[in-house]
Structure 1
């Protein structure tokens, strides 16, 4: 996408609508259910009567509250380690202020704002603050999918990504994600072999299944990463065009790809939706 084209294209041309949102009085259990069933890792939080944007909540916010991080201390103070009780809390208790953009803005305005604010999505609102749409990294993936960019995966990827062992617990995985700000971790065995990938959404879906089946307990967090990680891994080569990487992400509905050396099968990097921002001019 050229700077000129992005500047002239209105944000609503690329943004996703209708928006899946959650009412500010809904519970965290409701938010997990929506994320798991709809496949969204972020949800705008709105006033149910007016549609006014009140905040945003992400899968990482929820995991940080339930498992690790500063907000987890609030959960422990109020609910101990009772996950079911904690999930009755309203989303407004942990939602964060939403960085938003107005409907008359351009796509380039939106992408530049996401880069500046280090966020992966922007609710699109009208002058009254009512939610109209949302533009996310995934929309940029859709725009790039299958289009030759002239850039190679190796130019945008993060080399030598942080990984986790298959025998590690989900608690350890979440602690690492929250501490380092990651949404996904390659799962690598003691011999260095790639066995899978675990993401924040994998864990959200596990929580959702446990809620449905009545087996939500702290013991769930002791589950081995190797037992729940996604496999086989969708991967890309370091020499592939970035448009190919975007195509694979779009086809599989995922936000990141492990980068594997084709001849050796060795993990050499990871490329995510956010890395595509590096293609923007300036």
Structure 2
């Protein structure tokens, strides 16, 4: 790195020097890391990655993701630890009625949800996920996140062995260390899709998959009453609530639950005039992936981690 570059010439990756990472790993010595054939991406990546095998069941994966608070779970070989695929919250939503993976429930198991959730992960996992090498840079990760809209990137070595994972939240932690000229209204999504409290989970899953969303604001009479995420729906399954009132085991029974039962009591919002630096820090502190934008008591937009990472990258 060139220590004497002006602020306007700095790459986003250079901001890493200003923060310790989400875990205290001591001072970051880039010369040592180069000697170890590791790139700067490993300084912010999660190294001790929780992973599953292809033969684990769908419900086991959902339980792990729910317990750990993950949006994604890498799938590896037991012996070699080579990456074979990944299961994301979107895959689970697809399986629960949102898209083609629901065929596993409807076609193969005739609507028997209990049988379907005990199928192996290989049935719904995404094979050949986008990865990056352990020698990669933060700029490489930023390019994948912004241009390919991938929120979590497994990191592998030359043999395909899983060495870590880096997410858009990890990258945002780096980029949010500098102030910005942008405000929420400059980057938020204003044409947002919403749902209502009594909408069944099945319809919410369909909308999320078809529109490629991970979250939907929940409104009633034009008033925001919550936000439902893919993680909330996954938690409904992973914590066993989906099975509490089952009598037939049929998928329709599971997915008829109104989405209002999944909403938590906490609702964090922001306003259009907020600086995105403040909003990024707020989202990191709250550990949320998006904030509804409220103006004059009305929902006017949504700002996500992806929106923030993209905005910060343009300013770098």
TM-score between the two structures when normalised by the length of structure 2:
0.82
Instruction: Indicate the residue corresponding to 1:61 in structure 2.
Output: 91
Instruction: Indicate the residue corresponding to 1:50 in structure 2.
Output: 80
Q: Does 1:278 align with 2:302?
A: no
Per-residue CA deviations over 1:72-124 (Å, capped at 9, x if unaligned) read: 12332111221111111111111112100000110001110222322111101
**Is residue 141–residue 249 contact of structure 1 (8 Å, CA) maintained in 2?**
no
Instruction: Indicate the residue corresponding to 2:233 in structure 1.
Output: 203
Distance 1:88 1:181 in 2: 26
The 3-state SS of whatever aligns with 1:19 is coil
Per-residue CA deviations over 1:178-209 (Å, capped at 9, x if unaligned) read: 111111000000x2011111111111111122
Distance 1:39 1:171 in 2: 22
**Is residue 15–residue 177 contact of structure 2 (8 Å, CA) maintained in 1?**
no
Distance 2:314 2:144 in 1: 13
**CA RMSD between the two structures:** 2.1
The 3-state SS of whatever aligns with 1:249 is helix
Q: Does 1:94 align with 2:137?
A: no
Instruction: Indicate the residue corresponding to 2:11 in structure 1.
Output: 4
Distance 1:146 1:224 in 2: 40
Correspondences of 1:42-191 after superposition (within 5 Å): 42-96=72-126, 97-145=128-176, 147-189=178-220, 191=221
Per mean C-alpha deviation after superposition, the further-off stretch among 97-106 and 245-254 is 245-254
**Is residue 223–residue 298 contact of structure 2 (8 Å, CA) maintained in 1?**
yes
Q: Does 1:220 align with 2:240?
A: no
Structure 2 spans left out of the alignment, 5+ residues: 1-6, 17-39
TM-score between the two structures when normalised by the length of structure 1:
0.92
Instruction: Indicate the residue corresponding to 1:25 in structure 2.
Output: 55
Q: 1:49 to 1:169 in 2, by over 3 A?
A: same
Structure 1 spans left out of the alignment, 5+ residues: none
Q: Which of 262, 269, 274 is matched with 2:301 structurally?
A: 269
Distance 2:11 2:178 in 1: 17
**Larger Rg, first or second structure (1 or 2):** 2
Per mean C-alpha deviation after superposition, the further-off stretch among 156-165 and 221-230 is 221-230
Distance 1:212 1:161 in 2: 28
**Is residue 146–residue 244 contact of structure 1 (8 Å, CA) maintained in 2?**
no
Distance 2:11 2:227 in 1: 37
